[in-house]
């Protein structure tokens, strides 16, 4: 027989509270670790699948003018495959999933959107947190969740800080870039904020006296931490970030440090400081890696005595657009990645760093490697009101420059049969580097891509001479098996081309019934550049591409944003929540795409 307990029931409650608290924190971390493991496995499977698809498709060379016999036999094979109910069901499910998860987006604040997949993660995380907060609370007794709210919130601090870091384990494991993880950083940080306020309010309601009075330093530290956290949350709201990003950033870092140190001091009384110092460690590690990267990318000994490698060359493409180029020894990046640029003589603060996407690729277009050679890092910068305005005002010349990067996890498009790259304004940095890489991989025989449609909408005609030069070089390396179409949409009235001796054609836009005048290949630019006056009708462009996939080819558009913002600043929606640079990857089953390729005329 169990001897009757000699302890008061309050003691049992405290013991139970501690045990449940510990169990719930453990369960929460098991849940999050499982999610991370799941995403990592998905990534590995995708990489393996990609290798498999690539190895199958790379050797497939689409016949340019297929023999009648070939067409008939291929058509019947395709028809059998496409008409198979299992194939159709599988395609329908995959396409529906992609559309719902990645394409549908819902406004979550002024100028801020989240896709269904992002919202699933956000609400899933919040639901898990609240579930473990209120579970086993003996009819929602505040004493049971008052301390637990603080413990659950504190144990999440390392994760919240990791989600904000440029160098973080989560990106490396899942392949999700830091700029996309930022939305989860904000969601988890705000959940944490709510939890700490639940802790503060319930503690205040239960009475602040004796051991918990403000005569004690640990209680004062708690109040300081809460004040810093609250101010930080107010200053992190989008309007503040949009209006004064540098002010937000400095306040954020200072307030985070105050919050972490004060919380550590406060939590130590409950022996919970061990939740907080790992957060400081994660933050310090990210800063340390960034510092090492900056030193490594810009160090004198790697420049091999070339002083030009410490400078950036600035050219004005138009009155508000800058081409900034740097030379860097052995600095390499994947197409579509970005880097943080520090220009101490242009910025107001010595360590002010701004992200820009490399508009060039780090290896040579002809498929060879540039090991040991200086690479051209080119940025296409749209002038806004702060740092970029000062850079624009600086004008043509050279400036001391440092780069920190590369960052981001852009997609590899080589496995697709057809790629449609769509950009507006400065979004071209992203699509141009992907385009150049496809040409390079094609030259190396490592790409399954047979057709590229490159669409760019822009306002200033002067951009064309820059692009024409880049395209001329790129197209000279493309193999005959690659069909390339370059469609440029000039959204502002033309000043030059209408007076040029280019041939003029008219194009009736089927959907909007807007008549646009097309200037086909103005003579001063590369003959492949097709210039259209007006805005692109993306649906029409896609429709035409799908129609060109005769014989029932399957096309799905994934991972992109159907948004064209040629007149707006890139970050109007790129601050972690939405990429304004649209990328459409069309997965055409290569065996079922039979078209007459539009040849680029460099061949
Ligand atoms: C991953 C990524 C890649 C980008 N690539 C390009 C590119 O190739 N070409 C290009 O022209 N622009 C690009 N941008 C946008 C560019 O970083 C901003 O336009 C630039 O930092 C604005 O500086 P500013 O002081 O002139 O801006 P402001 O006029 O002060 O602000 C304009 C907008 O930029 C945002 N912003 C300001 N500073 C930063 C910063 N350090 N980090 C993030 N957002 C900031 C503000 O929140 C505001 O919404 C990219 C942004 C991101 C996040």
pLDDT mean across residues, the chain: 78
What is the side-by-side order of every strand in the sheet holding 311-318? 374-382, 321-329, 311-318, 397-400
pLDDT at 549: 61
Q: Chain centroid to CA 541: how far? A: 24
In ligand 1, the atom with minimum distance to the C-alpha of 429 is: 8
Report the separation in Å between the CA atom of 341 and the middle of ligand 1, taken as the mean of its atom positions: 11
Which homologous superfamily does the CATH classification assign to the domain defined by 303-410?
Answer: Translation factors (2.40.30.10)
What is the distance between the alpha carbons of residues 203 and 197, in angstroms, rounded to a whole number? 10
pLDDT digits (tens, 9 = 90+) for 130-168: 999 998 888 888 888 888 999 999 999 999 999 999 998
Distance 184 CA to ligand 1 centre (A): 20
Summary count for the chain: helices (H), strands (E): 16, 17
Q: Give nearest CA residue, ligand 1 atom 14.
A: 356
Edge-to-edge strand order for the sheet containing 402-407?
354-357, 338-342, 402-407
Check: CB of residue 228 under 8 Å from CB of residue 236: no
Domain 24-30+104-295 has CATH 3.40.50: no
Instruction: Give the mean model confidence (pLDDT) for residues 374-392.
Output: 89
**Which pLDDT value is given to residue 494?**
63
Backbone angles phi, psi at 455, to 5 degrees: -115, 130
- Report, as an integer, the average pLDDT of 553-574: 34
569 lines ligand 1 (CB under 6 A): yes
How do the domains of the chain map onto residue ranges? Answer: 24-30+104-295, 60-79+411-603, 303-410
Which residue has its alpha carbon closest to ligand 1 atom 13?
356
ipTM of the complex as predicted: 0.96
Looking at residue 350, its pLDDT comes to 81
Q: Is the CB of 343 under 6 A from ligand 1?
A: no
Q: Which of 166, 353, 384, 460 to mutate to test the pocket of ligand 1 (most atoms within 8 A of CB)?
A: 384
Give residue 18 CA to ligand 1 midpoint distance, Å. Answer: 46
pLDDT tens for each residue of 449-470: 888 889 888 888 888 888 888 8
What's the whole-number mean pLDDT along residues 104-113?
Answer: 78
CB of 95 sitting under 6 A from ligand 1: no
Q: Rounded to the nearest whole angstrom, what is the distance from the C-alpha of residue 355 to the centroid of ligand 1?
A: 6
Rounded to whole angstroms, how far apart are CA atoms 37 and 29? Answer: 12
DSSP string, 309-374: GGEEEEEEEETTEEEEEEEEET----TT-EEEEE-TTTSSSTT--EEEEBSS-SS-TTS---TTSE
Q: Is the CB of 338 under 6 A from ligand 1?
A: yes
pLDDT for position 14: 75
Determine which of 98-102, 141-145, 322-326, 564-568 has the lowest per-residue pLDDT on average: 564-568
Give dist(CA 160, CA 591) in Å, integer.
45
- Atom from ligand 1 closest to the CA of residue 248: 47
Q: Is the CB of 407 within 6 Å of ligand 1?
A: no
> What is the Cα–Cα distance from 42 to 140, expressed in whole angstroms?
38
Residue 578's CB is within 10 A of a number of other CB atoms, namely 19
CB 334 within 8 A of CB 410: yes
The residue contributing the CA closest to ligand 1 atom 47 is 242
- Indicate which atom in ligand 1 lies nearest the CA of residue 388: 26
Tokens of 384: 């806004």
Residue bearing the CA closest to ligand 1, atom 27: 386
pLDDT computed for residue 430 by the predictor: 92
Q: What is the pLDDT of residue 415?
A: 82
User: 388 in ligand 1 pocket by Cβ < 6 Å?
Assistant: yes
Work out the burial of residue 343: count CB atoms within 10 Å of its CB; fewer than 13 is exposed, 13-18 middle, 19 or more buried: buried
Q: Would the CB of 179 count as within 6 Å of ligand 1?
A: yes
CB 461 within 8 A of CB 494: yes
pLDDT value of residue 81: 55
SS3 199: helix
Query: Which protein residue's CA is at the shortest distance from atom 24 of ligand 1?
Result: 386
Q: Determine phi and psi for 322, rounding to 5 degrees.
A: -125, 140
Whether 248 lines ligand 1, by a CB cut-off of 6 Å, is no
Atom in ligand 1 nearest the alpha carbon of residue 352: 41
Q: 382 C-alpha vs ligand 1 centroid, how far in Å?
A: 9
Decide: 242 in ligand 1 pocket, CB within 6 A: yes
* Triad 576, 264, 210: Cα angle to 5°: 130
């Amino acid at each position: 027989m169990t001897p009757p307990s000699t302890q008061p029931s309050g003691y049992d409650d405290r013991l139970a509270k501690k045990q449940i608290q510990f169990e719930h924190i453990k369960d929460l971390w098991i849940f999050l670790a499982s999610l991370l493991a799941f995403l990592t496995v998905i990534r590995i499977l995708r990489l393996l699948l990609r290798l498999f698809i690539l190895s199958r498709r790379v050797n497939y060379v689409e016949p340019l003018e297929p023999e009648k016999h070939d067409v008939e036999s291929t058509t019947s094979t395709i028809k059998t495959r496409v008409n198979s109910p299992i194939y159709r069901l599988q395609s329908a499910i995959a396409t529906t999933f992609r559309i719902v998860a990645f394409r549908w987006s819902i406004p979550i604040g002024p100028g801020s959107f989240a896709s269904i997949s992002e919202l699933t993660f956000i609400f899933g995380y919040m639901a898990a947190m609240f579930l473990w907060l209120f579970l086993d609370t003996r009819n929602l007794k505040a004493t049971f969740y008052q301390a637990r709210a603080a413990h659950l919130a504190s144990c999440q601090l390392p994760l919240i800080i990791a989600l904000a870091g440029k160098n973080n384990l989560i990106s490396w494991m899942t392949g999700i870039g830091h700029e996309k993880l930022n939305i989860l950083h904000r969601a988890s940080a705000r959940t944490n904020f709510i939890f700490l306020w639940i802790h503060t309010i319930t503690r205040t309601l239960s009475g602040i006296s004796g051991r918990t009075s403000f005569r004690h330093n640990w209680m004062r530290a708690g109040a300081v931490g809460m004040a810093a956290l609250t101010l930080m949350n107010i200053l992190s709201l989008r309007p503040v970030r949009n209006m004064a990003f540098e002010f937000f950033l400095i306040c954020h870092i200072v307030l985070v440090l105050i919050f972490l140190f004060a919380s550590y001091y406060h939590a130590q009384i409950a022996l919970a400081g061990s939740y907080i110092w790992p957060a400081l460690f994660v933050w310090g590690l990210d800063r340390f890696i960034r510092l090492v990267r900056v030193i490594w990318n810009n160090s004198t000994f790697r420049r091999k005595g070339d002083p030009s490698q410490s400078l950036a060359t600035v050219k004005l493409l138009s009155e508000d657009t800058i081409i900034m180029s740097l030379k860097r020894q052995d600095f390499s990046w994947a197409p579509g990645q970005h880097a943080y640029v520090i220009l101490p003589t242009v910025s107001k603060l010595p360590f002010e760093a701004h992200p820009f996407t490399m508009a060039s690729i780090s290896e040579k277009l002809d498929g060879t490697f540039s090991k040991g050679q200086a690479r051209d890092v080119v940025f296409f910068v749209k002038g806004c009101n702060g740092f970029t305005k000062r850079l624009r005002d600086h004008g043509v010349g050279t400036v001391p420059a440092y780069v920190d990067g590369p960052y981001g996890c852009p997609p590899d498009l080589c496995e697709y049969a057809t790629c449609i790259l769509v950009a507006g304004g400065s979004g071209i940095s992203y699509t141009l580097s992907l385009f150049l890489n496809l040409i390079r991989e094609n030259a190396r025989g490592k790409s399954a891509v047979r057709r590229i449609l490159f669409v760019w909408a822009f306002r200033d005609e002067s951009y064309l001479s820059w692009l024409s030069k880049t395209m001329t070089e790129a197209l000279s390396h493309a193999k005959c098996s690659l069909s390339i179409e370059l469609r440029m949409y000039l959204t502002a009235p033309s000043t030059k081309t209408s007076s040029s001796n280019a041939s003029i054609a008219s194009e009736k836009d089927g959907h909007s019934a807007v008549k646009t005048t097309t200037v086909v290949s103005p003579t001063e630019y590369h003959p492949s550049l097709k210039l259209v006056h007006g805005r692109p009708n993306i649906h029409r462009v896609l429709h035409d591409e799908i129609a060109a996939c005769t014989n029932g080819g399957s096309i799905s558009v994934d991972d992109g944003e159907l948004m064209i913002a040629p007149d707006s600043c890139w970050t109007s929606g790129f601050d972690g929540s939405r990429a304004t640079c649209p990328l459409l990857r069309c997965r055409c089953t290569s065996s079922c795409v039979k078209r007459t390729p539009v040849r680029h005329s460099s061949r």
